[in-house]
Structure formats: C-alpha cells, structure tokens
Chain A
Amino acid sequence: MTEASGAEANLREYSDVEYVFEPRDHSIPRFRDYMQTVWDRRAFMVASAEADLRGGTSGTVLGEFWRVLDPLFQALIYWFLFNAIRGKGGNSGYFLMVVGGVFLFNYTMTSLNEGGRAIQRSKGLVLNSTFPLATLPMSVVYRATLDLGPTLAVYAVLHLLFGGAIGVGLTMLPFLLVLQLLINVGLALIFATLTVYIPDMGKLLNYILRVLMFVTPVIYPASQLAAAPASLRAVLVLNPLYSLFVSYQTIILGGVPAAGQVVQSIFWAVILPVIGYRLFVSRERGFALRL
C-alpha cells in the first residue's frame, strides 16, 4: 500500500462526526432537530422534484408545455361533458366549480398517491444512503405544488373567459392553499409509512383516492349534501378535505367561506402533519428492513 511516512504526511484531521447506531426504539427526535436535517437537504428535495418534473415529460415533443396542456385538456373534457349533458347555455358557474375542484383535488391526489409510494420508488437511495427519509414524500408534495402553478394559471384564464364571479373571498385563496399544502404533507407522510408496513396499501390507495373524491365536494356542489341525512353528513365532516373544498366552492361562486369551515380546515392542517410526522419519524429507521 502507501508508505507509512506518506500516510502520516497526508493524514488530514478527521471530522468529529461520530455515529452511534443502536437498536431502534420508537422514540421521536425533537421536531426542531429533525426539521433542521430536512432543511439541510432542501437542495436535494428541489433537485429531486425538478428531476421528476423533467422525467414526466422527457421524451415528449411538447415537453414543458404539457404542464399547461394537461389541465387544459382536462378542462376541455369537462366542458364537452357539460355541453353534451346540459345542452347549450349550461351553467358556467357550475362548470368552473367542477374544473376548479378537480384541479385542486389533483393537488392532494398527486401528493397522496405518489407521496404514498415515495419510499418504494426511491428504494435504491434509501438502501444506499443515510439521510432524513421524510425528504422523499415532502419532495413529492413540493413537486405537486410546482405543478399547481400552471394549473391555477389555466384556471384563472378559464374563470375570466367564462365570466366567473370575482369576490372578496378570493383573497382567502392563498391561505386555503397553504392549509391544503399542510394537509398534503401530513397525508403523504402517513401514507408513505403505511405503504412500507402494509404492502397492500399500494393497491388500496387507488380506492382510497376514489372514495375520497366522492366524499369531497369536487364534482358536485356542497349544497347537494344539505339534503343528505344528518348521519351521513356527520361522517362526511370527518373527511379532512370536506370543509376545505366547501370553502373553495364558495370562493369560486363569488362568496366568502364560512368561519366554521375555515376553522375545520385549520384543524386538519394542524393535526394531519403532526400525526404524519410522529408516525413517519418513529418508524423511519425500520423502513430499510422492509424494502
């Protein structure tokens, strides 16, 4: 090998990094400490989300344009559907409500669906490097947030084009979107953990998402639920997206969301990330054993 003298001359100071790996308990690291390690890897999350975005459209001729074309085509399909079902002069407010609802629901759907699979998808990285694994589902939510930009821009154009109502409620939209972001992070962390422990979750996710879409006022107005039996409504309120999407619909129709609905949304936006964080970080060190 190398001569001892050379080794001595080249011997640089070791960093004082020391790792002690001991049997895992389910202790939860201090929130601030863990988030610091996540924050230190923010460049990784951004790069991984950007790579995902490029990967999604790589090999296509139109590339980045698909980020605008995707929502546009989706809206177009609903427009055709509405004209076919309702004939000419269909209610444009209703059309906007559905398109807006679907676009916003997609945001949570992507976070939950891909966030739930985030650990499996990055199996190679998880099995080969030590880093805070919460960066994986969080990077998926970040990517979904990047996708939301062009989608909302398409919606804004449609809203103006179809003469949608513009009310003071709109000023609350950014706040509600932040609540949705927090709910998405919570759901992504919860389902990322569940998917590692319950292999069937990958399949179940499809159904969970479908049910979630139907128990959330996305393609029907929330007012329709007023006629539903009280027992059913009580169950629907347990849906974390319910009050949020009721608020979105109110805004799209030019109204101001009710305080009660907003408070419920805030509740979910706090409780889901807390549950997600505790579940994920207490289990994280066992993930590699189960991949």
Chain B
Amino acid sequence: MAIDSTLPAIEVENLSTSYHLHLNNSGTWAGIYDLIKRNPDTDRIVPAIRDVSFTVPRGSVLGVIGRNGAGKSTLLRCLAGILAPEQGRVIVRGRISSLLTIGVGMNPALTGRENIKLGGLAVGLSEERLDELTESIADFAQLGEYVDFPVNAYSTGMKSRLGFAVVAHLDPEVLLIDEALAGGDSRFQEAVGEKMAEICGNGRTIVLVSHGLQAIQYLATTAIWMHQGKIVEIGDPDDVVASYMRYCRIESLGGELNY
C-alpha cells in the first residue's frame, strides 16, 4: 500500500516461546523451585512457537491459518505482549488492540455496558471517551436493549459481536483478532468486513487468525500458514490457502507433512 516508505508495523525476529505446564504432583515443587531458583527446568515445557520471523507493513492485513495447536493464538499473544518471548524479539509500532478469545475477559455477571467500560478502561481509555463510544459500540454489535442485560444472558453470537465491536472502536493502530468472525451471522460478518476495510483504509494494521479460509482470502493482503509452531508458507493469501487445503486433503488420506 501507500506506506512502504515507513517502518513496518510489526517485526518478528526469530521468535520462540513455550508454555510451562504444571503436571501431576511435580507442579508444586516445580513452582517452589522456580520461585527460589530463577530459572526453571523442572516444569513440563511445551514449545508453541519455534524460530518464527516475519514483518507486517503498515496498513496491511495478515491472515494466519493452520490447524489447531499450530501456534496461531500463541503468536497473537506474543504480538500483543501478553506472552513474553523466550528467544527473539517482537517490535510493534502503534497502539495495540486485541480480541484474542471470544468474550474477551468479559465478566458474565455484568451487563454489556459495564463490560464495555471495564474492557475499555483496562486498555487505558478515558471514561469520557468511553461514554461517547458506548452507544456506537452497542449499535455496531446490534445489541439493542440487551446492552443493559448481563452478558451471561447473551448468545455466543452476541458475545462475539460485542467483543469485536469493543476492540474495533478503541481506535487501534494494530488490531489483533483471533477467530472474531466465529459465531456472528452473515449480516454481522459483512459489517466486520466493512469495519476491517475501514481500519485498513486508515493505514491501520490487522493480524487475523481464522479457520474461515474464505475470510482470509477476502480480507488478507498476506497470509501465513503455521504448523507445529513454524511457518510453512508465507505469501499471497490465495496461494497459501491453496497449499494449506492441499495439505489438509493429503493429511485426511493419511499423509504426513515433512517439517
């Protein structure tokens, strides 16, 4: 797009990270050990991302595809700064807004309105700004009078609509979305597409994780296919989706991917 002269919005250099799991009774001792010794090696460590590098230019949409457990969501958490890298480095230029799981830390006992407020305040918006935004967020999420109902009365679709509406309205410069399209009906998916196009049109950057391959083809300017924590292919969304689908067909016939 028009902004290739500036630095990329996201730079990922040799990123690796892993999850530490407490298993069986080793958990307690590993936990104590880790607290005393500052470098744990007694935990069960599950590598989630292995030596991944890429850049995302400003104003582009990066689609990330891959099977369950490929490291897609972990990658987004690293980009959001929620998980610290174990090796390598992530640089993000711009204010981050992220929608990483449906129901984004929503408190189900609180109303939609209260959740909008808490979510917005947590990422540092002022109360005045939130008061202005609340109505347009509720409108966009098509909540109607439900905005004053507790979230545990919401359908899955309503929750995911509200989740997307909140992060999309926080005026993000870098928007990270994990499966935001799931659960919404086709009318809402259209609205999501328009909103994302609008955000990109403003030079904002989006990283989108989705199992909806059509959505990736439609929205993304570049796509990444991840498998077992590594990048298998990066490039034009149509090409990457095609390779991924070829792999899925081979695998369903019992083949193996050699990586």
B80, A1: Cβ atoms under 8 Å?
A: no
The range of chain B's interface size is: 35 or more
B22, A18: Cβ atoms under 8 Å?
A: no
**Which positions 47-96 of chain B face chain A at CB distance < 8 Å?**
58-59, 61, 77-78, 80-96
| A232 interfacial by beta-carbon distance below 8 Å | no
| Contacts across chains A and B counted by CB atoms under 8 Å | 173
A12, B81: Cβ atoms under 8 Å?
A: no
B107, A51: Cβ atoms under 8 Å?
A: yes
Take A20-B89, A21-B78 as given contacts and tell me if A131 and B123 are in contact as well, using a CB distance cutoff of 8 Å.
yes
Take A7-B201, A8-B2 as given contacts and tell me if A128 and B101 are in contact as well, using a CB distance cutoff of 8 Å.
yes
Residues of A contacting B20 in the complex (Cβ-Cβ under 8 angstroms): 289-290
Which residues from chain A sit less than 8 Å from chain B, CB to CB?
1-2, 4, 6-8, 10-12, 14-15, 17-24, 26, 40-41, 43-44, 47-48, 51, 54-55, 58, 122-131, 194, 197-200, 285-286, 288-290
B173, A128: Cβ atoms under 8 Å?
A: no
Max count, chain B CB within 10 A of own CB: residue among A48, A54, A58, A194: A48
A245 to B32, CA, bound (A): 31
A143 to B218, CA, bound (A): 47
17 contacts between A and B (CB under 8 A): A7-B201, A10-B201, A18-B93, A19-B91, A19-B92, A19-B96, A22-B89, A41-B122, A55-B109, A124-B106, A129-B122, A129-B123, A130-B123, A199-B31, A285-B84, A286-B84, A289-B84
List the 10 closest A-B pairs by CB distance, nearest first: A125-B105, A124-B105, A44-B121, A24-B84, A2-B201, A11-B203, A198-B31, A21-B90, A197-B31, A19-B92
A24 to B17, CA, bound (A): 11
Take A124-B103, A124-B104 as given contacts and tell me if A19 and B201 are in contact as well, using a CB distance cutoff of 8 Å.
no
Which residues from chain B sit less than 8 Å from chain A, CB to CB?
1-3, 6, 9, 17, 19-20, 22, 27-28, 31-32, 34-35, 38, 58-59, 61, 77-78, 80-96, 98-101, 103-107, 109-110, 114, 117-119, 121-124, 126-127, 173, 197-198, 200-203, 219, 221
